[in-house]
Each structure stands twice: as C-alpha cells, then as structure tokens.
Amino acid sequence: MTGFGRTGKMFAVEHWEVIPDMMALAKGITSAYLPFGAVAMNENHIYEELKGCITGSYTYSGHPTCAAAAIKTMEIYIRDKVVENAAKVGKYAVERLNAEFKALPCVGNISGLGLMLGIEIVADKDARKPFPPEMNILPQVQKQALDDGLFISITNTRLTFGDRLNFCPPLVITAQQIDRMLDILYPILSGIKPA
C-alpha cells in the first residue's frame, strides 16, 4: 500500500532514507490492472548468494502480458510525474485538512504522507477518546459521504485502536478534485457533536 507513489515517494521507505535489503512488490507495479509481483534486492550479500540459483517457478510466473503491463506502468509513472503529483496534491490536502478540519470538535488528529491520508474521529478531543461503538458514528459518516458522492474508507475500534477516516485517492487526482472531496466531507464532520 505504501509503494509506487502512494506516499509521495516511489516507496515509503524513502521518506526516512532507508535502503532495504529486499522488498516485496505487487499491486501498484501494474497499477493493479493485472496480477504481478516481484522481489527487489539491493546488491548485497543476499543477491550474491542467490545469483545463478534456480529458486523454482510456477506455471504463471513471469507471465509476459503482466510483465509488459508492469514495464508500461513504470514508464507512465515516470512520464506523467505521478509520484510528484501525489506529493504535491497530498501536501495540499493535508494543509487544507489542518487549516479547516483540525479545529472541529470530532477531529483528534490528521495524518498522512502523499495521498495516504487519515482523520482520527474522537468523542473527546482532549483525551482523544473514540465514540462508543454503539453510536455507530463512522458507518453513519461513511453512508452520508457516499450519499453525497464521496467514497471513504473507515477503520474503527472494532479493528484497531481509534476511529479513522482513510483517504487513498487515485494518484492522478487534482487539487480541484481534493477540494470537491473535502467540501463534501466538511459539513458531515462539522455536524458530529462530542459524546
């Protein structure tokens, strides 16, 4: 989820200047149009040990159609500056979220990198305490947003600690589309009263 531009860098590890020995890659390598995965290795002892070894293969391994889709996808990411757009538009979204949404009584935290964004929804802003599950706040927010033309993903206390609205829009989204998205969401969140 954090690769191929989602966080405003080709891979999230780049935000912290981490150079991994190995990375498993999939989904975004073909923009999820076709199934394809890869393992990338740094030129290190792991690569040197595996060089020349036959590690096995499967019937559909390295399928030429999927491999061609992966190559073309990488070309498009570079040609269309998709990663740069995710960084620029994501920064704009976070700035607007912090300027307008952070003061709302139900917003505990705004976080994210690039176009992987989240809003923590709380009943008590000072304690950052979530709403009681029986209030069903996030599903109500999700339904109202969808009725108004915006799909948002939710993560609630039944799955993790805290309630969050998650945004992972297409990496080619524009600032105007972000505005439309946030213009739909703002009145919904401003209508939530603390518990």
pLDDT in tens, 104-133: 999 999 999 999 999 999 999 999 898 988
Place of tokens 């290795």: 41
Predicted local confidence at residue 7, as pLDDT: 97
Distance CA(40)–CA(43), nearest Å, equals: 10
Same domain, 37 and 130: no
Same domain, 130 and 35: no
Does position 165 have pLDDT exceeding 90, yes or no? yes
For residues 150 and 96, is the Cβ–Cβ distance under 8 A? no
**Number of structural domains the chain divides into:** 2
For residues 113 and 124, is the Cβ–Cβ distance under 8 A? no
Predicted local confidence at residue 182, as pLDDT: 98
Beta strands 37-41 and 22-26: pairing type? antiparallel
pLDDT band with cut points at 50, 70 and 90 for residue 158: low
**Residue 11 CB neighbour total at 10 angstroms:** 19
Distance CA(122)–CA(138), nearest Å, equals: 10
**Range(s) of the domain holding residue 140:** 83-190
Same domain, 180 and 160: yes
Please state, for a pLDDT cut of 90, what percent of the chain lies above it: 75
Q: Is residue 69 part of a domain?
A: yes
Place of tokens 């976070």: 94
Within the chain, strands assigned E span 22-26, 37-41, 107-113, 116-121, 153-155, 163-167
Same domain, 103 and 163: yes
Q: Is residue 49 part of a domain?
A: yes
Same domain, 118 and 165: yes
Report the CATH number at residue 138: 3.90.1150.10
* pLDDT tens digits, one per residue of 132-150: 888 889 999 999 999 999 9
Same domain, 135 and 59: no
Same domain, 56 and 99: no
Same domain, 68 and 88: no
